[in-house]
Every structure is written in structure tokens, then in C-alpha cells.
């Protein structure tokens, strides 16, 4: 029987087999473009639809939004499978798709009539984490495919679908986002360590300590909200992606900065080459790392230290710290005299991969936390700081 003549029968069977529900405890769900928590999704039984060369399978689900029109379900399934086959054939043209496939980040793809978060907002795609670390699922909206006239248009749909793998990679490579710090930082309970203590910790212990700092002390969001309504870059290019929500760019870069900081404290190469980056992220000297958009400034990254009259008492026992913020200017490219110039490949800061971003942040801290930005503020204090 020809491949696509049998598809309708297969879809009918699959649609009848997907009524089993799982609770929110079975998912740690986070939307790619908007907040997603405590959401429930229908699980899928059956074997799904295999795509040659790829480890994940495609499923069709009735889900939220009512039953699928049979013709639309068939067209959506055919388009999605053919598009993934196209991406796989030209995978080296789509580096983030290639990365996700190589690392096995995608658990499965689920086609639904519509895709909504818990607030009822619609999205063309949604990336959700699973209970398995490093594995995510991709939900695809049939109504959005139809509205964008992508049904049966593989070459038009391919770059749109490939772009979503920015979120697949970002969501898979970070743990669930800690709760947002509301109001003042919890300075007293921030688990900062001395430099000597930091250097004795294992990679896993440093990552755990960083997570605790995210919950009490360390922020990754621009206080001025300069990214509100801004586009974000397709990784590795100068292509700007329009935001679907006011805070799309903020959330996208929040994820990437968190993962970059985790790499700095986890990977031995940073411990060896930029030790100040590791120690200062965990000893309280850095309390904010954020992307910003500052058109009138030509710098790509800057370290700014609080003056003495704004020093804070942190931790137990309390230590007086003049904390620093690392700011990364979204649209700027590195200058030849920047320590991270060679690592950025002439890309705007917002287009850097997580590996490149980690190098930029680490070099900025290593070069400027003491020698430039803190000169006149805390250079003298550093001579007597606990070691």
C-alpha cells in the first residue's frame, strides 16, 4: 500500500489510542515563548510514526482544542514528517537541529489541533521538559500551520521549524528555572563561599551552589527591562526573530545566560583558564549577569561594580561586598581589543551559542572584575578578603 494512502488509517488508529492522561507531576513543563507551569498534557500510547534516521517519533493528539479534522490531521502529519526528513537530509545547514539530533535531546514530537499554555495563550510551537533530564518534547499546532499556509509546503516550513530548535536546545540543556526573586534579594541566606572553599568544591557541588544562588542572590534579568518587546537572534546568524510576547527576548536570554553560567562553574577548562570567573560567581562578587539593549553604547560587554555606599552585607557570617553586574549588549559585536574577540566570530552578542556566551562572560569577569571595573572600588578590599 502506498505510504500516504495508509496514513489516514494510521492517524485514525492513533487518535483513538491517545486518551490516557497524566498529571502535572509527570511533566516539568516550560513554554518556549511564555510561562508554562502546572500544566497537564495528554500522554500518548501507541508507537508513533518513525522518521528514518531520527530517534524520536511523531504523534498525533486530540488534546486541547477539540477533535482534528481528518484531512487537516493527515496534511499536518505528512508535512511535519516530510519537513523533519528534509531537515535531517540537510542537517549541517541547521546547526541547532543537528545539535539536538546528535545529543538526542528531543523525546518526541506531538501534533495537536492547537497549542496553548495554562493561561490559554496560543503558540505555533511549545517546548516542554520531561521528567528525564536533558530531554524535551515539541508540540506543534495544526491550526498555526494552516494559518501560516505551511501545510504541504515543506521548504517554507523547514526554516520555521528549524528555528524552534533554539528552544529545544535551551530547554534541554538547563534545569527548570528557579523561582523568580521577588523584591529584595535574600542576602542573609545567600550561600556564598570564600575563594578557598570554592576551589575545593567538585564540579557538581559548584553547580548546586550556583542554583542556590539563583534562588537567593544571583539574577540574570536586566533591571531596566530594555529587552521588552525586542526581537531575539537566531543563534549563529544575524537574523532577528520577532517576539511573540512582550518578554520573549527576556526569557530566551534568561535561559541562555543561566546555562552559560552553569558551564563556567562546571567545566574544568574554565576552572583552569578563568579561575576568577568561577570564584567570583560563587563568592558573592557577581550578583547580576544580564543581556541589555543599550544603543548609545558601543561596548559588547561591561562589568559594573556598586560603589562603596551601596555595599551589601551577605551570607552567614556576614561579609561586606560591593557586588558587580555583568551586562551584555544585545546588538553589539566584540571589538578587536576585547578579550573575547576571537571567540565571538564577529557575531552580535545576542547571536552567540551558549559555549561562546560562556567564554564571553568568563573572560569579562577574568579581565575586568579586579583590574578595571573594581579599581577604586574594591581593589583594596580584595587584599584583605577571606581566602
User: pLDDT value at position 39?
Assistant: 33
Would residue 189 count as lying in a domain? no
CA-closest candidate to residue 304, choices 380, 376, 232: 376
CA-closest candidate to residue 58, choices 33, 39, 84: 84
Better-scored residue on pLDDT, 154 or 19: 154
Would residue 1 count as lying in a domain? no
Residue with cell 533591571: 223
Would residue 187 count as lying in a domain? no
287-316 confidence digits (pLDDT tens): 999 999 998 888 999 999 888 888 999 988
Would residue 179 count as lying in a domain? no
Give the CA dihedral 25, 204, 271, 287, nearest 10 degrees: 50
Instruction: Based on the fold, state whether residues 240 and 91 are members of the same structural domain.
Output: no
Instruction: Based on the fold, state whether residues 260 and 337 are members of the same structural domain.
Output: yes
Would residue 201 count as lying in a domain? yes
Instruction: Based on the fold, state whether residues 253 and 298 are members of the same structural domain.
Output: yes
User: pLDDT value at position 175?
Assistant: 63
Domain span holding position 44: 7-172
57-97 confidence digits (pLDDT tens): 999 876 444 555 778 888 999 999 999 999 999 998 888 89
Does the pTM exceed 0.75?
A: no
User: pLDDT value at position 212?
Assistant: 94
Instruction: Based on the fold, state whether residues 73 and 163 are members of the same structural domain.
Output: yes
Peptide bond into 317 cis (omega under 30): yes
Joined grid coordinates for residue 338: 576585547
Would residue 183 count as lying in a domain? no
Amino acid at each position: 500500500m502506498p505510504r500516504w494512502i495508509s496514513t489516514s488509517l494510521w492517524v485514525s488508529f492513533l487518535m483513538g489510542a491517545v486518551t490516557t492522561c497524566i498529571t502535572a507531576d509527570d511533566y516539568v513543563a516550560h513554554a518556549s515563548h511564555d510561562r508554562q507551569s502546572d500544566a497537564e498534557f495528554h500522554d500518548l500510547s501507541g508507537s508513533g510514526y518513525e522518521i528514518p534516521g531520527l530517534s524520536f517519533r511523531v504523534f498525533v493528539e486530540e488534546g486541547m482544542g477539540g477533535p482534528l479534522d481528518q484531512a487537516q490531521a493527515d496534511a499536518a502529519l505528512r508535512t511535519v514528517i516530510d519537513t523533519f526528513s528534509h531537515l535531517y537530509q540537510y542537517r549541517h545547514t541547521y546547526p541547532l537541529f543537528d545539535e539536538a539530533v546528535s545529543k538526542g535531546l528531543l523525546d518526541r514530537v506531538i501534533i495537536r489541533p492547537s497549542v496553548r499554555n495554562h493561561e490559554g495563550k496560543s503558540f505555533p510551537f511549545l517546548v516542554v521538559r520531561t521528567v528525564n533530564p536533558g530531554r524535551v518534547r515539541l508540540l506543534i499546532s495544526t491550526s498555526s500551520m494552516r494559518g501560516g499556509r505551511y501545510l504541504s509546503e515543506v521548504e517554507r516550513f523547514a526554516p520555521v521549524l528549524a528555528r524552534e530548535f533554539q528552544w529545544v536546545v535551551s530547554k534541554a540543556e538547563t534545569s527548570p528555572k528557579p523561582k523568580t526573586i521577588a523584591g529584595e534579594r535574600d542576602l542573609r541566606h545567600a550561600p556564598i563561599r570564600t575563594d578557598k572553599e570554592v576551589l575545593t568544591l567538585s564540579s557538581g557541588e559548584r553547580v548546586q551552589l550556583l542554583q542556590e544562588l539563583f534562588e537567593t542572590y544571583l539574577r540574570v534579568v536586566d533591571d531596566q527591562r530594555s529587552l521588552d518587546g525586542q526581537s531575539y537572534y537566531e543563534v549563529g546568524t544575524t537574523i532577528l526573530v520577532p517576539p511573540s510576547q512582550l518578554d520573549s527576548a527576556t526569557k530566551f536570554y534568561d535561559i541562555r545566560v543561566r546555562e552559560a553560567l552553569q558551564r563556567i562553574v562546571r567545566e574544568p577548562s574554565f576552572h583552569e583558564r578563568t579561575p576568577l570567573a568561577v570564584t567570583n560567581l560563587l563568592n558573592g562578587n557577581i550578583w547580576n549577569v544580564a543581556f541589555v539593549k543599550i544603543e548609545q553604547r558601543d561596548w559588547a560587554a561591561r562589568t559594573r561594580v556598586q560603589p562603596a555606599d551601596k555595599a551589601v552585607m551577605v551570607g552567614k557570617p556576614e561579609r561586606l561586598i560591593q557586588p558587580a553586574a555583568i551586562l551584555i549588549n544585545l546588538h553589539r559585536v566584540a571589538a578587536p581589543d576585547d578579550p573575547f574577540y576571537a571567540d565571538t566570530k564577529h557575531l552580535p552578542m545576542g547571536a552567540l551559542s551558549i559555549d561562546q556566551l560562556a567564554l564571553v562572560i568568563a573572560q569579562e569577569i577574568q579581565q575586568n572584575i579586579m583590574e578595571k571595573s573594581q579599581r577604586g572600588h574594591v581593589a583594596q578590599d580584595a587584599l584583605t578578603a577571606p581566602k
